[in-house]
Structure 1
Amino acid sequence: MLGRIEELVIDCAEPAVLVRFWAAVLGGSPVDRGPDWSYVDPPDGQPRIAFQRVPEPRGDRKNRLHLDIGVADIDRVREQLLAAGARAVGGVRTDEQGAFQVMSDPEGNEFCLVR
């Protein structure tokens, strides 16, 4: 092993907004280190998720990396996330591995709810 993941960093326009959204999704308390850097330490040994302000806009490209969030009830969690500012991308998809729903956070970063 050459190293280990310390945290996942998401480039964004508004770190303070995204950290509060993701703290509601994953648990933990949002921490603002300044206007350009925020993070949340989710419980249960999940890795830290950090948000770094960058000057360029996200653009229309698809994420090259996304988070899969395990949930017991995709429909219930989707509705809660929609109320918190997320957007559903298409509908629930089912395959031989289970079901998933593609979502995007308030800045358009995609993630999946998986069951």
Structure 2
Amino acid sequence: MRARLEQVVVDCHDPKTLVRFWSGLLGGTPVDRARDWSHVEPPGFPRLAFQPVPESKAVKNRLHLDIAVDDLETAATEAVRLGATLSGAAVTDDQGAFQAMCDPEGNEFCFVTSQD
């Protein structure tokens, strides 16, 4: 058997807001679905789906997305304009650099660049 990644599902309070943030960041058209779900199919990424849950996020995510960009500062500035927040300073090592971020509901993700 060979499986493939179909979509990544994010628990959240407000799927309609998060899908618009992520579609603004990655591209694609936000889709609002039945039972208050939303999703977006950004070019080059699996579908991102957002499902409503009653509980708030309480701790750091056990899983996060790394998003490759050409310029960390430009990407972070655009993400903040869309509603994200910085999570610490950019980190650079011999493999590249990353900038940790949080989406509007506090879900962590990173912009990454590689040393070529």
TM-score range, shorter chain: over 0.9
Q: Structure 1 residue runs of 4+, over 3 Å off?
A: none
Which whole-Å CA distance do the structure 2 matches of 1:3 and 1:72 have between them? 31
Aligned to 2:92: 94
Q: Unaligned regions of 5+ residues in structure 1, if any?
A: none
Q: Does 1:79 align with 2:74?
A: no
Which residue in 1 is equivalent to 2:7?
Answer: 7
> In the alignment, residue 53 of structure 1 is paired with which amino acid?
P
User: How far apart in 1 are the matches of 2:89 and 2:50?
Assistant: 27
Within 5 Å, give how 1:58-73 maps onto structure 2. 58-59=57-58, 61-73=59-71
**Structure 2 regions of 5+ residues with no counterpart?**
none
Provide TM-score, normalisation by structure 2.
0.93
* Equivalent position SS for 1:20: helix
Give the partner amino acid of 2:94: E
- Residue type of the partner of 1:42? P
Segment of structure 1 superposing worse, 26-35 or 99-108: 26-35
User: 3-state DSSP class of the match of 1:76?
Assistant: helix
Conservation of the 8 A alpha-carbon contact between 2:84 and 2:102 = yes
**Alignment correspondent of 2:19:** 19
- Under a length normalisation based on structure 1, what TM-score does the superposition of the two structures give? 0.94
Q: Following the alignment from structure 2 to structure 1, what is the Cα–Cα distance between the partners of residues 46 and 13?
A: 22
Other-structure match for 1:40: 40
Match of 1:29 in 2: 29
1:10-29 per-residue CA deviation (whole Å, 9 max, x = no partner) reads: 00000000000000111100
Q: Deviation string for 1:50-70 (max 9, x for gaps)? A: 0000011111x1110000011
Q: Identity rate of aligned residues, in percent?
A: 56
* Structure number having the greater strand percentage: 1
| Residues paired across the two proteins, number | 113
Q: Work out the CA distance in 2 between the residues paired with 1:2 and 1:56.
A: 34
2:19 partner SS: helix
C-alpha RMSD of the superposition: 1.1
